[in-house]
Structure formats: structure tokens, C-alpha cells
Structure 1
Amino acid sequence: MLKEAIYHRAGNNYAYAYDEKTLHIRLRTKKGDADKVSLIYGDPYDWTKDGWQTSSSPMTLSGTDEWFDYYLIEIQPPFRRLRYGFEITSGDETVVYTEKGFYDEAPFDDTAYYFCFPFLNAIDVFRAPSWVKDTVWYQIFPERFANGDLSNDPEGAVPWGSEEPKKDNFFGGDFQGVIDHIDHLVKLGVSGIYFTPIFKAKSNHKYDTIDYMEIDPQFGDKETFKKLVKVCHENGIKVMLDAVFNHSGYYFEPFQDVLKNEEKSRYKNWFHLREYPIVIEPRPNYDTFAFEKTMPKLNTENPEVREYLLKVARYWIEEFDIDGWRLDVANEVDHSFWREFRTAVKTAKSEAYILGEIWHDSMNWLQGDQFDAVMNYPFTNAALEFVAKNTIDAKVFAEKITAVMHMYPENVNEAAFNLLGSHDTKRVLNFCDGNKDKMKLLFLLMLTFKGTPCIYYGDEIGMTGEIDPGCRKCMEWDEEKQDLDLFNHIQTLLSLRKEHKVLANEGKLSFISAKGKTLLYEKSSYDESILILLNAGDAAVEKSFIIPEGYELLFGNDASEVIPPYGFSMYRKK
């Protein structure tokens, strides 16, 4: 037994309250090392003349990644508090693992040896909005979705789709265009829209905010936006806006005052200015997003900045009834601000969704006091490597996804924002080198995974584009140029996800087989089981799957004899 690989901590993703009664406890061991793991546990105050009263229950192997096995147990302590340790058996060796280390036999003379979950306080339970688990998002880059009102086109705008997207060109996309095409979203089956920034800005992407309290005039006015939110809500669609609070734009009035008055500016402490005079070229001497001179970093430790941004957060909820905020460059803003932000947002609307843009391990932001979710790029990367890029096989993919599933508590995973592409990446079809069958597999993986998935506008009809600005083409509204087969594929998956909750967040994902480029996994709950088989390779696999008795084909190819290249089968237990 490799004791150095055994790991647990009494918190975060290893010991947490799943709900007001239930604790989830996990243990990590070396891959293939343990034959059996049990939890030894008891109430720390439950003593009799015979000593501390404990119980022992077996833990379940919940997954295996490249290096480790993970074990899980769900337990409901009658008095909401627990002391616990682990009994681990490997061959002829058995050890007891506690907070104080390893023992040949469990020490029962003092509960101080053991890991401690002091008390399950209801207020400490991680709670994302309940509606998020059933939501499928659709990301819209407003300048490129649809031009519904020519009268508000920015100066120099070119006709819709008349040229390739550039860093600085405009096509006139606006709110009226979204309203005009709401039926497209309803038909597809999405239930949430994530808008990239809509506030007044100079660029076409709007991540360089000039005024956080005003709509950019090229999108319409506040009345049109209010109408858009109303239309969305009438069609069962939530609305989430992009908050760029890490940095402002170059033409943000306080920054312009700083440029004009330098150290005499009343706004000098709104930014991170390193010295005077202020220098813009060749590299700014003030902190920015990356080294982008037009995006000066805001000082969110400054009380005036905090007050201003929190006012912004409340205003768009209270005045326009939006349903959530996506937070740009969220990891570069201090935790203290995000805690205040959460309080402000949840006070304005308790069921508002708070999503952080973070590309790495985000446990520090997901403990119930800051975000409800982050953008799940670890899932994105694993799926693209397996299907689109063909750089890993099914076994490695299953290991990577298992690691992703164990990065966070289960109730955090249920609200995770899953995506395949966005305005920050090249198009999914480009990742797939134009192979639409690969793209179908990617959507199959995402739409049968735990969390809340997001479709980037136009991916559902096969739009192409390299990384920014190529991924920001005008939406194609000519049906003759749309891939309607791809649209129907995604539409069917969304319909199945809605009809069979086991495919979404009410099902446990278990990998059954991963060989070569063929993957078999199950989504199961107490009353339903769906098997999903896919071939991410370019060659057919013969006799790849023996259909269990009592299962029927739900979607895809009949795999009883062969599964074609990039083919898939979905079977449901009758």
C-alpha cells in the first residue's frame, strides 16, 4: 500500500454538505491499490461506559483517473456532526487513516485522532439557483447575431455578412435582432442566453467599457433591452449579462480624468498607477488586462470603486430583471470584492446565477460565498483532445473527466458551465477540421454531462471561424446555408436531455469501457438507466457492444453489429 498517495482533507471537495442533512466524504488512494475502503465514524459526544460509539460503512469507488482511485460515501449524521477516519485494505495489509496519521488498529480512546466535520450548518450548504441545473445556455455576441434595426447602426457599419470579421469592423447587430429571432432559440430548445457585454464601449466586442450604467447605442436603448428581457422570459429563457469588473475601457470617464490630471485626479486611486507621468507606449506603466493599454485594471480594493460596481450589479437586476452575471477575468479580482458582490446580487435577486470566467482549478471561488459556478474549461479541453484533436484515447479521456468530476463537490458540478467553444476560441467545427460527425460527438458528450451546457451562437448550424476575430462572424440566417442536419442533431439531444433528467443532473456518470477510441458510459439514477456508446475513431468497430437485455435504442446507430466511424448509440433500459 502506497501510503503517500492516500489523501483526505476535512473540507472543500473531500468533505462537504451536499444538502441540509447529507455529508459527502471522499478519499483518494493510489490507482488500483486498495481492495476495500470503509468509513469509521461517530458523533464526537456519543460516549458510554464502553467508550466512544462508532459505526463502520463501506465506501464506493466513485472514479479512477490517471494516478488515483476515488472513494465516496453519503452519510446523514443524526446530530449533524461527525468525527471519522478510514479503514483501508490492500491484500493482507489493513491500516486506519486519521487526521493524525496511520494506525494498525483504530484508536478509540480519544476522538481527537479523527477528522472532524464540526457541524452541518444549513447556511453553509453550497446553493446554486435551482433553475440552473435544468438550463441550456446560448451565447450571443450581440454585434454579430442579427441586425433588427438599421437606424442604430454604428458609423461605418457594413452590410450583414458582407466581409470577414475584423478586430474593428461593425455589422450592426442589436437587441431587436435577437427579439426578431427568438423563435430560432425556442425551436432549438435553449432556456438561457448569455450575452457578451452590452454596455457603452468603443470596440465591437464591448469589453472596454465606457459607461457601465448605459446600453451601447448600437444595440438599442434601455426600453428595447427591457422588452428583450420580457420576450425572453415569456419564452422560458433566462438572461445573463457579462460584467467586466476587472478592468474598464480607455474612455471610461474616471480613467480619462486620470490621463488629464494625473496625480491630481480624484480618480487616481481607482486604478493601479505605478508612477507619473502616465505612459501608454510602448508598454503602459499602469496595470491592465494583460498588457492591453485600452483596458486599465480597476482597483476593487478602493471603497468608491466597490460602491460603484456593486451599484451596477444591483441596477441591472432591479431595473431590468436579468437573471445572472458572468464575470470576466474573475480570478484577477480580489476575493473580498466577490464576497460583497455575491451579497449585493443575492439581495437583489436570491435566485440570480453568478458565473466566473476562470480557466483553472477554482475551488477557492466555489465555497458558497462567491460564485455559483465557473466556466468548465477542463471539460472542454478533454473533450476536444479526445474527439476533435485526436491527441488522447478513450481511456485517457475517461481519466481526465474523472479528475474533472472530483475537482469539486457534487452540488458544485451540477451548476458547472460546460462549453465547447466561445468568443475566446476558434469554432468547434474548426477544431474538428470541418468533420461534422466529430462535432456531433462533442455535443453528445456535453449534453449528457453533469452541469449546465452552453452553445455558442451559430455552432448549431455549422458555422466556421478561427480564433478571434474569425470566431465572431455574422450569424447565418439563410437556411440554404445552414446545416439543418446538425441543427436537428443538437435539437434532438436537447429534447432528450429535457425528457430524460438522468442525462443531465439527476444521473450518475459511470465509465464502463474505454478502449482505443471507443467509449461506453452509463447515466443512471434510481429509476432510469441510459447507456451511451461512441466511436471517436476514423474506422468502424465491429461487434463492439452486446446490448444488455431489456435495453432499447433511443438515439443513434444500432451498435449490435458495428459502430461506424464517429458513430454513437444511446440505449435506454425499458
Structure 2
Amino acid sequence: MEKAMLVTDDVSTSLAFSSQQPPNWVQDAVFYQIFPDRFRRSEGSLARKEHAFQPWGSPPSRTGFQGGDLDGIREKLDYLQELGVTALYLNPVFASAANHRYHTYDYYTVDPLLGGNDALRRLLDDVHTRGMRIVLDAVFNHVGRGFWAFHHVCESMEQSPYRDWFRIRGYPLRPYTTPEAGNCNYEAWWGLPELPKLNVDNPVVQGYLLDVARHWIDFGIDGWRLDVPEEIGTPGFWERFRSVVKGASNDAYIVGELWGTGRGWLDGDRCDGITNYELGRLALGFFARDSLPAEGISISGYAVPGLEAAAFAGRVEKMLKTHAWEYALASLNYLDSHDMPRIHHLAGGDAGAVRLMLAFQMTMPGAPIIYYGTEVGITGAGDPACRKAFPWHQPETWDHDLLSHVRWLVQLRREHEVLRRGYCIHLRARDAVFAFKRTWHGKIALVVFNAGRSDTRVQLTNVGGTVEHFTLTDARDSSALRCIDGRFEPVHVPGRDVRIFTGREDRPPSA
């Protein structure tokens, strides 16, 4: 299979207005997702011993707190920078009675267990001093049952001025019933009584949420990740949200949690990017095909079949053609997250598959996002097992070879603009080989994957090339690869490995 995969610089793939453009910094970023309760408990918190937290590294549970906080993240910024991370996405940080903090009860207060507003101020200042960014989680579809307005309705019932903030079917409210009982008498997310849905059709509720969005942008955060935005169907709300956020900072990033294609969300009036879980599903289906059952698996309702190279390439092409090119570059490329099993678990412990998946993530268009601990080999099934504490206390359990591999990949991406901004063209999708190149203003990166277990030699034609003769350099060992008369010299790729070459298409081959 030798054909152009994605885009050229045709104007039909570009956005017409600068106001629609995603922030320029996103396509150059390497994101790192942190589940705050499980990343790092700060030295100050350990010294104060003021809360009865579970011991760090306890088996994760849906209700237990292990005491990770924002100062703990500050203490590990050196580690994150050494990894090559330039932007942090934090799971919710606002006051909540849940360890994941999706049960918000005060949007204007950072949870005291995380250090409060002062701790976020310190973290933002340190992050920005280092030239890094922070994106927070906007959970606006639902609140916790401790949310002040909901509590008011619980106490005052139909006399509460806040009764129209929710969709209530009867009084008194039953906030501590169970989904199994089936008698929750207000709309709740997935029928969970602890998560009352906000009535975003109410203009007062809209004004409240938009003020929250503006408040924290003014405070200094660099963007919002929108939690389940499709579940807020109020016409015009997300367009107004974008207007408010961009009015406060045009450089702020808005990314929507969308598990599918995200059609309709990247048209310049709502989001700058989506959570591109499709990339991870495709990578799993191809690179970990041998570890999947014959019928494939399902992740959050999305099928993940085993994929042959040609089918994999076709679905990658379809994924990248879904949106305007600028949005492809500004979407977050996920392999795993807090809402799904970790890739080490999904790949059945196949370390080679994980290494290839990470290489694919780091070389494809879009901003890669590393889920905390993936780089050292943390594994686990779905929630809560995918939310283990980072093993700072057990460095002997780390996969140090994998950590070095991730550092190398991130450094390569940061050093070569073509891997962050370049257009993408398929060169080969056959047997266990998937090869593509990325080009950008004369720069080129050639990426050749061998998902098989045997070594192979790959002969590639420089599809779409404008120069017949040039030389590339192997990113790992600095050896030369020549392109002569539009054909590359054979590339030897060991089993379960990737070769990456970089250079320019306008330089003649060495003698």
C-alpha cells in the first residue's frame, strides 16, 4: 500500500479565521495527566500528619484518599521536565468529597486536601516560570450532592430559590438512595444520586458556570478540559463558553472529552481539540494484536479489534481526515487514562507492544498525553485499579528501560519540529510493517514500525517527494539512510521495534 495518507497544505484543510485557530503552543506540547490524589503526597503534608490518609501505595479504592496534593506535584516538576513534559492536565481539583473530585461542591475553592487556592497559586507560578502550562478539568454537567445549591434544595425543598438549578421530579429529595432502588427523584448523571445534573437550560446556571470558567482563566490557568460536554445539550452554551474563555485569554486551550470522532465539536465555535482516544484504540489493535482475544475487546463501548497493517493504515487515515488539519494537531492523543485500563494491562504485559504504541503516539500528528506512571510501567485494569499511587517509594519496581525509551521519544519530538507540525504520508502498510513520513518546509521524518517478532528489511519509495536525492540520519545511532532516485535504501528493522530517521529533502546524499 503506497499512497498519500493525509493532507497537503491545501487551503481546504485550513481554518479561515484566526479566531478559530487553536492556540499555537498546543501542537508543540507534550502533556502529562495527573490524578492528584495519587501522584505525590508533599513533604509538608507528610510532616504535618493532620489527616488520616491511607498509606501511600495502598490498593486503590473508589473511596479512599492517599493524600496526593498540589505541592506534591510542585516537588516533582524537575522529574516532569526531565521527562520532557511541557503541559499538565489535572483531573478535578475543586472541593469535593470524592477522591477523583468529579463530585464538585464548590467551584471557586481548590480542595483543602490538595492545599487550597494558595497551593494552586504556587503550582501555577512554578509551572509558568519553567515555561510549562496547566489545564484543569471543567465538570459542568453535574455536581456533588454536597454542592451548596443542591443542599439548599434538600433543606428548603420546593421553597428553595435554587430549585430550578436542577431537574426535580418530586419532594423531598432522596439524595442517599441507591441506583438499584430506582427512586432517585431528580436527574442525575447515569442515575447516580451522588451526581445531580445541573439544569444548564437555566440562564442563571449558565451565568454561574461561565463566571467559574472566566474566574480560573483570570487566575492563570492555561485552559479547560471539558468533562462529558456532549451531555450538556443546551443550544449555544458551549459557544458562549468559548467566547468567555477566549475573551479572557485567546491563548487558552479548550479540549473536549469526546470518545468518538468529535464531529461538530471542532468547527471553530466550541473546542480547540478533542481527547483522541481513537489513536490509542488503533495502536492497541495493531501493535498488541497478538495479545488480544480473537474477537477483540471493548473499551468504554468502543470496539478494539485486532488489525492487520492495511486495515490499521486505513483507519489511521480516516481518523486524521476527520477534522481540519489544525485541529488534528491540537487534539490530545491518548493511550490510556483514569477512565480505562492502563495500556500495560490491555497489552497483556507485552512490553514490546507498549514501546511501539508509545513511539506511535509520539510520532503522529497531535499532542501526546502521558497518563501518570505509564512511563515507569504502572499497570492495572479499570477504575479503581487504573488509579494507583505513583510508586515514588518503590523505584525498584519501575521499568527504567521504558522510562529511558519515553524520554528519548519525547526529546526526539521536541527537537524536531517536523514531528510536531509536519504533514503525514503513508509509505507502507503490509504484513507487520507500517511506515510513514512527515514533512514540514523541507524537513522530513521517516518512521518505520515492525510490529512482527522477526527482523525485516523494508524497501520504501519516497511517495510525494519533491527531491530525488537526499540523506537522512537515524535518530538512535546516527547512521545514514540515503534516498536515491526517489527510493530509500533498504531499512533493517528488528522485530518489535521502530526506526526513525530525520533530515532534509534538499540535501544531496553523502558520497
- Both structures adopt the same fold (TM-score exceeding 0.5): yes
Aligned to 1:540: 454
For the Cα contact (< 8 Å) 2:141–2:198, is it kept in 1?
Answer: yes
Q: CA RMSD in A?
A: 2.5
**Residue 438 of structure 1 pairs with residue 332 of structure 2:** no
Deviations 1:250-280 (A, max 9, x none): 1111112222232222111111223444344
Aligned to 2:63: 168
**Residue 420 of structure 1 pairs with residue 335 of structure 2:** yes
**Residue 127 of structure 1 pairs with residue 21 of structure 2:** yes
Residue type of the alignment partner of 1:323:
D
Q: Whole-Å Cα distance in 2 between the matches of residues 355 and 154 of structure 1?
A: 36
Deviation at 1:300, TM superposition (A): 1.0
Residue type of the alignment partner of 1:504:
R
Deviation at 1:155, TM superposition (A): 4.4
**Residue 550 of structure 1 pairs with residue 471 of structure 2:** yes
Aligned to 2:308: 393
Deviations 1:352-380 (A, max 9, x none): 00111111232322111111111012222
Residue type of the alignment partner of 2:456:
E
Aligned to 1:254: 149
Q: Whole-Å Cα distance in 1 between the matches of residues 7 and 38 of structure 2?
A: 47
For the Cα contact (< 8 Å) 1:62–1:72, is it kept in 2?
Answer: no
Aligned to 2:417: 501
Aligned to 1:330: 229
Aligned to 1:377: 277
For the Cα contact (< 8 Å) 2:456–2:495, is it kept in 1?
Answer: no
Aligned to 1:235: 130
For the Cα contact (< 8 Å) 1:556–1:569, is it kept in 2?
Answer: no
**Residue 159 of structure 1 pairs with residue 55 of structure 2:** yes
Deviations 1:325-368 (A, max 9, x none): 11111111134111111111111111100111111232322111
SS of the residue corresponding to residue 263 of structure 1 reads helix
Distance 1:130 1:335, change over 3 A: farther
SS of the residue corresponding to residue 424 of structure 2 reads strand
Match of 1:456 among 371, 384, 387: 371
Where in structure 2 are the equivalents of 1:204-283 lying within 5 Å? 204-279=99-174, 280-281=177-178, 282-283=181-182
Q: Whole-Å Cα distance in 2 between the matches of residues 294 and 371 of structure 1?
A: 28
SS of the residue corresponding to residue 379 of structure 1 reads helix
Residue type of the alignment partner of 2:395:
E
**Residue 138 of structure 1 pairs with residue 32 of structure 2:** yes
- Name structure 2 gaps, 5 residues minimum: 291-305, 463-469, 480-488, 505-511
Distance 1:291 1:151, change over 3 A: farther
For the Cα contact (< 8 Å) 2:7–2:325, is it kept in 1?
Answer: no
Of structures 1 and 2, the one with the larger relative CO (CA 8 A, separation 6+) is 2
Deviation at 1:168, TM superposition (A): 1.0
Q: Whole-Å Cα distance in 1 between the matches of residues 309 and 143 of structure 2?
A: 43
Aligned to 1:14: none
Distance 1:274 1:392, change over 3 A: same
**Residue 199 of structure 1 pairs with residue 94 of structure 2:** yes
Aligned to 1:486: 402
For the Cα contact (< 8 Å) 2:427–2:461, is it kept in 1?
Answer: no
Q: Whole-Å Cα distance in 1 between the matches of residues 447 and 271 of structure 2?
A: 32
For the Cα contact (< 8 Å) 2:428–2:460, is it kept in 1?
Answer: no
**Residue 185 of structure 1 pairs with residue 46 of structure 2:** no
Residue type of the alignment partner of 2:148:
E
Deviation at 1:546, TM superposition (A): 6.3
Normalization by structure 2: what TM-score? Answer: 0.85
Moved more, 554-563 or 184-193: 554-563
For the Cα contact (< 8 Å) 2:28–2:420, is it kept in 1?
Answer: yes
Q: Whole-Å Cα distance in 2 between the matches of residues 169 and 557 of structure 1?
A: 49
Q: Whole-Å Cα distance in 1 between the matches of residues 425 and 254 of structure 2?
A: 29
Q: Whole-Å Cα distance in 1 between the matches of residues 266 and 121 of structure 2?
A: 31
Distance 1:122 1:567, change over 3 A: closer
> Percent identity at matched positions?
35
Distance 1:498 1:378, change over 3 A: same
For the Cα contact (< 8 Å) 2:450–2:456, is it kept in 1?
Answer: no
Residue type of the alignment partner of 1:358:
L
- Name structure 1 gaps, 5 residues minimum: 1-30, 33-60, 64-69, 77-119
Q: Whole-Å Cα distance in 1 between the matches of residues 410 and 52 of structure 2?
A: 39
SS of the residue corresponding to residue 218 of structure 1 reads helix
Distance 1:511 1:152, change over 3 A: farther
SS of the residue corresponding to residue 355 of structure 2 reads helix
Number of residue pairs the alignment of both structures matches: 463
Q: Whole-Å Cα distance in 2 between the matches of residues 410 and 315 of structure 1?
A: 31
Deviations 1:84-120 (A, max 9, x none): xxxxxxxxxxxxxxxxxxxxxxxxxxxxxxxxxxxx9
Q: Whole-Å Cα distance in 2 between the matches of residues 211 and 72 of structure 1?
A: 47
Residue type of the alignment partner of 1:570:
I
Distance 1:335 1:443, change over 3 A: farther
Deviation at 1:156, TM superposition (A): 3.3
For the Cα contact (< 8 Å) 1:557–1:568, is it kept in 2?
Answer: no
Deviation at 1:455, TM superposition (A): 0.3
